[in-house]
Amino acid sequence: MTIDKATVTKVARLARLRVEESDKDAYATKIDGIMQWIEQLGEVKTDGVEPLASVTNITLPLRRDEVTDGNIQSKILANAPEATSGFFAVPKIVE
């Protein structure tokens, strides 16, 4: 895939980027190099390679999925400028 000035102009317009006319040739060269590198990645043989999230073979510890309130309401409300009946109190902004 070859990237030219027209493609750079189109991509810049879609991304809402302002690219000076004098810079478009340089961007085209850089983007073309990136695209060639991506094409090289497609040539790598990955048959039989399992997908992985980490290069280390560590299983993450699991915990029970329990819903709790955290029991820290007083600590949270201590940061509030004003609290009423266990809730944040804020001024009315709708008339």
Model confidence over 45-87: pLDDT tens digits? Answer: 989 888 887 888 888 889 888 888 788 888 889 989 999 998 9
- Output the average pLDDT for the chain: 89
Would you say the pTM of this structure is higher than 0.75? no
Give φ, ψ of 84 to 5 degrees. Answer: -135, 125
- All residues at 6 or more sequence positions from 69 whose CB lies less than 8 Å from its CB, including other chains: none
